[in-house]
Amino acid sequence: MSYNLLKGKKGIIFGALDNKSIAWKIAERAHEEGASFTLTNTPTSIRFGTISELAEKTNSIVIPADATNQKDLTELIEKSMDHLGGKVDFILHSIGMSLNVRKKRIYSDLDYNFLQKTLDISAVSFHKVLQTAFKLDAINDWGSVVALSYIAAQRTLFGYNDMADAKALLESIARSFGYIYGREKKIRINTISQSPTPTTAGSGIRDLEGLMDFTERMSPLGNATALECADYCVTLFSDLTRKVTMQNLFNDGGFSNMGMSMRAMHQYEKGFNCNDC
Amino acid sequence: MSYNLLKGKKGIIFGALDNKSIAWKIAERAHEEGASFTLTNTPTSIRFGTISELAEKTNSIVIPADATNQKDLTELIEKSMDHLGGKVDFILHSIGMSLNVRKKRIYSDLDYNFLQKTLDISAVSFHKVLQTAFKLDAINDWGSVVALSYIAAQRTLFGYNDMADAKALLESIARSFGYIYGREKKIRINTISQSPTPTTAGSGIRDLEGLMDFTERMSPLGNATALECADYCVTLFSDLTRKVTMQNLFNDGGFSNMGMSMRAMHQYEKGFNCNDC
Amino acid sequence: MSYNLLKGKKGIIFGALDNKSIAWKIAERAHEEGASFTLTNTPTSIRFGTISELAEKTNSIVIPADATNQKDLTELIEKSMDHLGGKVDFILHSIGMSLNVRKKRIYSDLDYNFLQKTLDISAVSFHKVLQTAFKLDAINDWGSVVALSYIAAQRTLFGYNDMADAKALLESIARSFGYIYGREKKIRINTISQSPTPTTAGSGIRDLEGLMDFTERMSPLGNATALECADYCVTLFSDLTRKVTMQNLFNDGGFSNMGMSMRAMHQYEKGFNCNDC
Amino acid sequence: MSYNLLKGKKGIIFGALDNKSIAWKIAERAHEEGASFTLTNTPTSIRFGTISELAEKTNSIVIPADATNQKDLTELIEKSMDHLGGKVDFILHSIGMSLNVRKKRIYSDLDYNFLQKTLDISAVSFHKVLQTAFKLDAINDWGSVVALSYIAAQRTLFGYNDMADAKALLESIARSFGYIYGREKKIRINTISQSPTPTTAGSGIRDLEGLMDFTERMSPLGNATALECADYCVTLFSDLTRKVTMQNLFNDGGFSNMGMSMRAMHQYEKGFNCNDC
C-alpha cells in the first residue's frame, strides 16, 4: 500500500534499533510513501541492532550520532543535507532510555546521575536536535517533526519510573519549540502518544505483558501496533496536516479516554471468584 | 471537628435524599462549620427520602422544588432569602438522574425523550439555578457555587451511559456561567469530580461494586468518601479559595491521574492464573 | 493534488451549505481523494444555500434530512447505502445552530426552549446519526466518523454562548459512542477542533473578526483554513489512522497550547500607548 | 482572620526570599492558622533576602540548604524534625530559577549547562526533597506536600523560556511521587498553578507587566495574589482535603479555562483604531 504521501520528501529518522522498533516501521512506511532519509542511532545501538539491514531495504545511509552531543548532531544534520541534496522535510525522534529502570532503582530511590541521563537522553536530546536544526536552518518551510511519547506523561503507571517524567519533559519541549518553529519557520512539532508496544527498548518496563493485556482490553480498538503508529506518523509528515502543531496525539485505540471497559472489568473481576489464586 | 470556616454564611443545598447522599454530608459539615441554609429536593424525593431528619439536625427548612422548573426555582430562592435574611453565599448542586439508566436502555439504544430529561435534570437544571439566582441577584459578592460531577465527563466508563454526557454538559455550564458570574459578581463556580460513591441515587449504575473496587485499588489514597467530599466542599465554600473558579476539581484519591497501580494490576492478573474461573 | 487516500471509500457528509462551509471543502477534498458520498442538509439549508452545485461538482446526490429526526436519518442512511451500493466508510457531522445566539439572548438570559434546540441540533443529532447507523449496521469495519468542534468546549469565549455547551456535549458523545463503536464494530469516532473559520453559519458569533485576529496572532502557524481542515479530515477518513479514536484533535495552528505569543502581546499592548483610543 | 486550620501541624517551607515571595505569605498564613515550621533557602538567597524577619515574625528558625544537594536536604529535614519535635505534616516547595532567562539566552539558543541547572533547581529538587523525606520517614500519615507551578507547564508563553519545561517536569514529579507517597504513606502531593505574581524571583520574565495585564483582564475574577495563594495553600495543608492528590490546581481567577474575555478583547482591539501607535 502506498499513496505517495511523502513523495520527494527528505528526512532524518532517529532511533531504529531492530525490526521491532517503531522507528523501523516508520522508516519502512516513509520509504514506501516516497520519502528519502538518513537513519541515525548511537554507535552502541548500531552495533547491538540491525539498522544496516533497514538502510539497505530503504535505500538510505546510517550516520552514527549521540543525540545528546551537539557536535554529533551538527555533523549528522550537515551530512544528511549533503546526502539528501538539501534541507529536510521531516524528523522523527524515537529515543528513550533510563538507567534507573535498567538498574532497577525504584522511583523512591533514584540515582540522580541516572535521572539526569534519563532526562538528557529521552527529552533534552529532542531540544538539542531541534536547536541544532534551527541554527543550521535545516528544515524546509512547512516541514514536520514528530517525537514518540507515552501516556505516562499524563498518568502514573507503576514501574514506568523516571521515564514518565522524561516523557512529560519531552512533550513540553515539543510545545515550547513548536511555538518558535511555527512562528519563525512554519514548521510543526508534535508528539505521538503510542500504545505500549513490545519493542526491544521497552522490554525493561516492569510487567509490560500484564499492562499490555490491560490496555488491549481497555481500548475499544485494542492497542495500536508499531505499524499503525508508522501509518499515523506518515500522515503527520505529509502535507495534509499543516496546521496541526504543539499537540500530543494519542494513537492508542482509545485507551486515553477510557475510564473502564466491559472487557477489562470482566477480566478484573475474574480473580474475585477464584479461591485458589 | 469545626473550624468555623463558614461562620455566618448562608446557602442553598440541592439534592439531599437520605443519609447516604453526598449532599447530606455536605449539609452536616456546612452546619458544623457555622453555616445556615435551606434544603431542597423534588416533592417525590422528599417523600421517598428522609430529608426532614436532616433539616431538624441542621436547624434548616426544606423547600420543595423541581430544579428544572424556573418558577419553582424562583420561589425557592426568594423563600430562601426570606428565611435566611438576605442573599446567600453558597449553593450546592447535587442532582442527577437518567431514565435511560433506570429503564436499562443502553447507549446505542437511547430513548431520546429520556436523554432530554437526563440532560435537563442533571445539567441544564444547573444553568436554571444559576440564571434564576443571577436575575434575582441572590448571591453575595465572593460567593461560591459547587456542582458535583464525575470523571465520566472526561473518560468513558461502560454502563455509565448518558450520565457521562450529562456530566460533560454540567462541567461546561460551570465554565460558561463561571465566566459571567466572575466578571459581573465576583462569584466563583466549580465542580467537584468525586470518586464513585455508594449513594442511593448511584445504585442504578451497572456493576458499581466492581468499579469501586477497581478505583479503590487504582487510587493511591483509595476512594474518597461522601464525608471527605463534604470536607473538600467546605473549603470551596470558604473564603480561602476565592480565586479558584471554572475548575473541575478531582476529589478521588488520585484516580484521575493514574494509568495503572500495582494493587489494581495485581488483582487484574489474578484471574489469569485461575483455571476454574 | 490527490493521493487516492479515499479510493473506493463511501460516505455521508452532513452540513455543506455554501462554498464557505467546511463540509463543502471536505466534500471537495474527499472527492479528489477518490471517495463517493451522499450530501445532506435540512430542506431549509438546501434552499438557502448552493449545495446542488457541490453535488454536481463531486458527482454526488443530495438527500434532504433533518438530523434531529430519526425517521429522516433512517431514510437518509438507507438511501445512501442504496445509492452508494453498500455500507459507508465515513461520516462527517458538521452541524451547529443556536437560536439563543441568533436572537441575541445572552448566556445569563437564555431561552430554555432555544437551549434545548441548540443541544438537539448541534450535539444530540450526532448521537442520533450514530445510533441510526448502528441499528442499520451501516458502517463498514474500520470506518471513521468525524464531527467538527471548537475549543469553546474547553475554554470560555465571550459571545460563543450556549454553543460552547453544545460542543462540550458533542465531544462527550464522540467519546461515549466511540467506545461502543470501537468495541462492537472497529469503527472510530473523533472530533476535529478547528480554528475559528469565517463560514456563513459562524457569522452570528459576536465579534468574530476580532477573535480571528487574536487567534491568528496567537497561533504560531496562524489559523487553519477550511481547506486545511478538509485535508486533515481526509487523513482521519483514510486507513492510516485506524487506531485513533475518541479523540478531540486540534487543527488550529497551535492556538490550543498557547498561553501568550509575541505577536498577540504586541498588538495587545498597542492600545496602552494610545491616548485617543 | 484565623480558623486554626493548621493547629498543631508542623512543616517545612522552602523558598521565602522577601515579603513579595509567595512562600513568605504562605508562612505567614500557616503561622496564623496555628502551624509551626522551619524556613529554608539557599545561603545566597538568605543573604540577598530578608528571611530572618519572617522567622522572627512566625516564631520559626531558618535552616540554610541547597535543595539540589541531598546532604543539605538530609540535614535540613533532620534538624527540622529535631526542632519541631517530630515528623512534619506539610512541605511547601517554591523554588525556581533559570540561568537561561537571567542571561537572556532565548529558547532556540539555550545553554545546555544552564538548562540542566534550571531543571535541577526548579524540578528535580522537588524529587530530592521528596526522596530524602521518604527515606527519613519524615512526614506524618495524611500529610500534605505542595509545590508551586505555573500554566506555562501546559501552554507556551513567549519569554517564559526553559522554565516552562521545568514546570512540566515539576508537575510530572508531583504525580509520579504522589502515587508512591499515597500508596505507601497516605500522603498527598499537589501543585498549585498560580496566576503570574510580581515576586522578586519572577522579575526576570520578559514583559511580565504586559502579561499580567492580559491575564488580569482575561480572568473573570482577576489575577490571584500571593496572599490568595497562601489562603488556598492552607486548605491543601489542612485535614479537609485528604483525598486530593496528584492534582495540578489552578489558582488563577479562571484564566486557565478562558479562551477570550470581553475585557481582554476590548483592550486588544484598542490598538486597531489607533493610527499613531
pLDDT tens per residue, range D169-191: 999 999 999 999 999 999 999 99
Interface contact D124-A112, CB threshold 8 A = yes
Residue in D157, D258, D260 nearest the CB of C214: D260
- So what's the ipTM on this one? 0.97
CA-CA distances (angstroms) from residue C178 to A133, A229, B228, C197, C244?
A: 39, 20, 33, 26, 10
Calpha distance C205→C201 (Å, rounded):
9
- Report pLDDT digits (tens) over D218-263: 999 999 999 999 999 999 999 999 999 999 999 999 999 999 999 9
Chains A and B: how many Cβ contacts under 8 Å? 95
Residues of B whose CB is below 8 A from C130 = 108
Q: Which residue does chain C place closest to D159, by CA atoms?
A: C262
Domain count, chain C: 1
In a domain, C150, yes or no: yes
Q: Counting beta carbons within 10 angstroms of the beta carbon of residue D74, is it exposed (0 to 12), middle (13 to 18) or buried (19 or more)?
A: middle
**From B1-15, B194-208, C83-97, D211-225, the region with the lowest mean pLDDT:** B194-208
Candidates C218, C245, C262: best to mutate against A (most CBs of A within 10 A) is C245
Nearest CA in chain C to A190: C254
Cβ-defined contact of B172 to C165 (cutoff 8 Å): yes
Inter-chain touch B178–D256, beta carbons under 8 Å: no
Sequence-ordered list of residues with C-beta below 8 angstroms from that of A205, at least 6 positions apart, any chain: A101, A159, A160, A163, A196, A211
In a domain, C56, yes or no: yes
Instruction: Classify residue A136 by burial, with Cβ atoms within 10 Å: 0-12, 13-18, 19+.
Output: middle
Whether the Cβ atoms of residue D227 and residue D25 lie closer than 8 Å to each other? yes
- Cβ-based neighbour number of residue B62 at 10 Å: 16
Distance CA D226, CA D218 (A): 18
Contact A31, A54 (CB under 8 A): no
Does the pLDDT value for residue C275 go beyond 80? no
Phi-psi group of C91: left, alpha or beta (phi > 0 → left; psi -120 to 50 → alpha; rest → beta): beta
**DSSP designation for A155:** S
With respect to residue B119, please indicate whether it lies within any of the assigned structural domains.
yes
The Cα of A137 is separated from the nearest Cα of chain D by a number of Å equal to 12
Contact C119 B115 (CB under 8 A): no
Closest-CA distance, C99 to chain D, in angstroms, reads: 21
C168 to chain A, closest Cα gap in Å: 15
The tally of CA atoms less than 13 A away on the side-chain side of residue A108 is 16
Do A172 and D178 lie within an 8 Å CB cutoff?
Answer: no
Question: Does B108 sit within 8 Å of C131, measured CB to CB?
Answer: yes
User: Which of D172, D240, D251, D261 has the most B C-beta neighbours within 10 Å, making it the best mutation to test the interface with B?
Assistant: D240
B106, B108, B247: best mutation site toward chain C, by most C Cβ within 10 Å? B108
Interchain contact, D214 vs C268, CB within 8 Å = yes
Higher pLDDT, B140 or D200: B140
Residue C95 included in any domain? yes
Q: Which residues from chain A sit within 8 angstroms of residue D171, using beta carbons?
A: 168
User: Which site among B219, B260, B263, B267 would you substitute to test the A interface, given the most A Cβ atoms closer than 10 Å to its Cβ?
Assistant: B260
Question: Counting one residue from A and one from C, how many pairs have CB atoms under 8 Å apart?
Answer: 136
Which of helix, strand or coil describes residue B133? helix
Whether B275 shows a pLDDT value over 70: the answer reads no
Rounded to an integer, what distance in angstroms lies between the CA atom of residue C223 and that of residue C101?
A: 23
Query: All 3 cell numbers of residue B253?
Result: 484519591
Q: Do D271 and C270 touch (CB under 8 A)?
A: yes
Q: Do A221 and C243 touch (CB under 8 A)?
A: yes
Longest distance between any two alpha carbons in chain D, whole Å = 67
How far apart (Å, rounded) are the C-alpha atoms in residues C126 and C246?
14
The arithmetic mean of pLDDT across residues B224-251, rounded, is 98
Share the mean pLDDT of chain C.
96
pLDDT of residue C277: 47
- Taking residues A44-56, what's their average pLDDT? 97
Q: Which of C116, C156, C176 shows the shortest C-beta gap to B107?
A: C176
The per-residue pLDDT for C199 is 85
Q: Say if residue C82 is exposed, middle or buried (CB neighbours under 10 Å; 0-12, 13-18, 19+).
A: exposed
CB contact under 8 A, B267 and A271: yes
Q: Is B132 exposed, middle or buried (0-12, 13-18, 19+ CB in 10 A)?
A: buried
Alpha helices in chain B, H assignment, sequence order: 22-32, 43-48, 51-57, 70-84, 99-102, 112-119, 125-135, 162-185, 208-218, 226-237, 262-270
For residue D142, the chain B residues in CB contact (below 8 A) are none
Assign residue D161 the CATH number of its domain: 3.40.50.720
Q: Which residues of D touch C (CB under 8 A)?
A: 151-152, 154-160, 207, 210-211, 213-214, 257-262, 264-265, 267-274, 276-277
Closest-CA distance of chain A to residue C11, Å: 19
Give the pLDDT score at A272: 82
Q: Do D219 and B254 touch (CB under 8 A)?
A: no
Query: Which of D189, A274, A159 has its CA nearest to residue B254?
Result: D189
Helices and strands: H and E segment counts in chain B: 11, 9
**Alpha-carbon gap, residue D145 to D181, rounded angstroms:** 10
**D76-99 per-position pLDDT tens digit:** 999 999 999 999 999 999 999 999
pLDDT of residue B204: 64
- What are chain D's partners, defined as 3 or more CB pairs within 8 angstroms? A, B, C
C-alpha torsion sign, points B271, B273, B274, B275: positive
Under the banding of pLDDT at 50, 70 and 90, the label for residue C204 is low
pLDDT tens readout for residues B114-135: 999 999 999 999 999 999 999 9
Q: What chains are in contact with C, requiring at least 3 Cβ pairs below 8 Å?
A: A, B, D
* DSSP 8-class letter at C55: H
Residue A257 lies in a domain: yes
Stretch among A232-246, B101-115, D202-216 having the lowest mean pLDDT: D202-216
Judged by CB atoms closer than 8 Å, whether chains meet at A269 and B269 is answered as no
A77 inside domain = yes
Q: What is the mean pLDDT of residues A256-260?
A: 97
For residue C241, give the C-alpha cell: 489512522
CB distance B221 to B254 below 8 Å:
yes
Q: Which chains have 3 or more CB–CB distances shorter than 8 Å to chain A? A: B, C, D
pLDDT digits (tens, 9 = 90+) for A83-105: 999 999 999 999 999 999 999 99
The pLDDT, as a whole number, for residue D272 is 82
- End-to-end alpha-carbon separation of chain D, Å? 47
- Structural domain contains residue A4: no
Residue C153 DSSP code: G
Mean of the pLDDT values across residues B227-245? 98
Q: State the first-to-last Cα distance of chain B, in angstroms, to the nearest integer.
A: 47
C48: how many CB neighbours lie within 10 A of its CB? 13
Q: Which of D181, D244, D254 sits opposite B178 (nearest CB)?
A: D254
- For residues C251 and D212, what is the distance between their CA atoms, to the nearest angstrom? 28
Alpha helices in chain D (DSSP H): 22-32, 43-48, 51-57, 70-84, 99-102, 112-119, 125-135, 162-185, 208-218, 226-237, 262-270
Closest partner residue to A253 (CB to CB) among C221, C243, C250 is C243
pLDDT tops 50 at residue D277: no
Question: How sure is the predictor about A200, in pLDDT bands with cuts at 50, 70 and 90?
Answer: confident
Do the Cβ atoms of B270 and A270 come within 8 Å? Answer: yes
What is the C-alpha separation between C246 and C172, in angstroms, rounded?
A: 9
In whole angstroms, give the CA distance from residue B244 to residue A215: 35
Closest partner residue to C156 (CB to CB) among B116, B134, B246 is B246
Q: How confident is the model at residue A277 (pLDDT cuts 50, 70, 90)?
A: very low
Q: What is the pLDDT of residue B93?
A: 98
Alpha-carbon span A101 to A106, nearest angstrom: 7
Radius of gyration (Cα) for chain D, nearest Å?
Answer: 19
C-alpha distance from D133 to closest chain A C-alpha (Å):
10
Burial class (CB in 10 A: 0-12, 13-18, 19+), B240: buried
Mutation target to probe the D interface, by most D beta carbons within 10 A, among A105, A156, A177 is A156
Give the residue from B175, B195, B129 showing the smallest Cα distance to D255: B175
Note whether A261 contacts B158, CB cutoff 8 Å.
yes
Where is D91: in which H helix or E strand?
A: strand D88-93
Query: Across the interface, which of A175, A228, A244 has its CB nearest the CB of C243?
Result: A228
pLDDT (average), residues C128-140: 98
What's the pLDDT band for D201 if we cut at 50, 70, 90? confident
Task: Compute the mean pLDDT over every residue in chain A, rounded to the nearest whole number.
Answer: 96
Which of C154, C214, C268 has the CB atom closest to D210's CB atom? C268
Contact C72, C44 (CB under 8 A): no
Distance from CA of D56 to the nearest CA of B (A): 25
| Residue B115 structural domain | 10-271
Give the number of residues written for chain B. 277
C-alpha C137/C-alpha C146 separation (Å) is 17
Top residue of B115, B130, B156 to mutate, by most chain C CBs within 10 Å, is: B156
CA distance B47 to B64: 10
What value does the mean pLDDT of chain B take? Answer: 95
pLDDT at A208: 84
Supply the pLDDT for residue C131: 98
pLDDT at position C206? 64
Domain assignment present for C3: no
Interface contacts (A, D; CB < 8 Å): 88
